[in-house]
Structure 1
Amino acid sequence: MALSVLAEENILLNQQLATKEEAIRLAGQILVDNRYVEADYIEKMLEREAMTSTFMGNLVAIPHGTDDAKKDVKESGISIIQVPDGVDFGDGNIVKLIIGIAGKGGGHLDILSNIAITVSDIENVENIVAATSAKSILSFFERVN
């Protein structure tokens, strides 16, 4: 199943990010710019990160808002950011693939399930990080799911 909430304009390639805060803000800004969420959602993503890290292992972080951020979500959406040189998410956890998520209703659970299947294999993550176009990332998710 393809991720219908994922579009080429939601994907940034070859980014260089100095901090996890910068990474989370960028992931959230993509969601704002493409009208998935209100601007306040970005602060809720940072609040979530302060509660517990969104680092998932396998070079992946999945920042998302707190439970009370649901009011800021207009529709479910995903942002994907490649960071080939990595960004430290704390405790030496290096992230090369940032997947920002906003889920409307229960929609985020399906989104998370699809992403989890894909990124549970480090080879899949490495292929996504090495992809040279947003279109190839989209096709990769379509193949895997």
Structure 2
Amino acid sequence: MAVLEPSQIRISGTARSKEEAIREAADILIAAGAVEAGYLDYMLQREETVSTYMGNLLAIPHGTNEGKDTILGSALSFVRYDEALDWGGEEVRFVVGIAGKDGGHMDILTKIAIVFSDDDDVAKLLAATDADEILEILGDVNE
């Protein structure tokens, strides 16, 4: 199964705060059957400990190690925001929630980081008009 399906992509997120954005990311992972509802608490705990802001308008919230039992399968959620969210003083327009089963999150994180290290790809993600276009830009995450 692919870690990112079109149903797990939101072109226009509704959250207006970091906490709401983490909840929005978790809700998509829950709906995809990748995590139990309790995973959200572990995502919020992680954020309290260390910011998941990665640079280039991207945050990657994910759960703590203690929450790994609430992960049912590896998956991503991808949410783009029309207006930047305040992420601990940084501007975020993309929130990519990650659930990695059996340590699989590091490989996924690396693939996401490579895309977001390219300013042209970030510009394409900002301009994308549908989930399929975003999936195409993120390409390698499902391989």
TM interval, short-chain normalised: over 0.9
Letter in 2 for 1:71: D
**Matches of 1:38 and 1:143 in 2, distance apart?**
26
Of residues 128, 133, 138 in structure 2, which corresponds to 1:136?
133
Aligned length: 142
Distance 1:32 1:143, change over 3 A: closer
Answering whether residue 20 of structure 2 is matched by residue 4 of structure 1, we say no
Q: Which residue number in structure 2 is paired with residue 85 of structure 1?
A: 83
C-alpha deviation, 1:140, in angstroms: 1.2
Q: Which residue number in structure 2 is paired with residue 99 of structure 1?
A: 96
Q: Where does the alignment leave 5 or more consecutive residues of structure 2 unmatched? A: none
Q: Which residue number in structure 2 is paired with residue 31 of structure 1?
A: 29
Distance 1:49 1:143, change over 3 A: closer
C-alpha deviation, 1:122, in angstroms: 2.5
TM superposition score normalised by structure 2: 0.94
Runs of 4+ in 1 over 3 A off after TM superposition: none
Is the 2:15–2:24 Cα contact (8 Å) retained in structure 1? no
Q: Which residue number in structure 2 is paired with residue 74 of structure 1?
A: 72
Is the 1:5–1:76 Cα contact (8 Å) retained in structure 2? yes
Is the 1:73–1:104 Cα contact (8 Å) retained in structure 2? yes
Is the 1:84–1:130 Cα contact (8 Å) retained in structure 2? no
Letter in 1 for 2:99: A
Q: Give the percent of matched residue pairs that are identical in Structure 1 and Structure 2.
A: 44
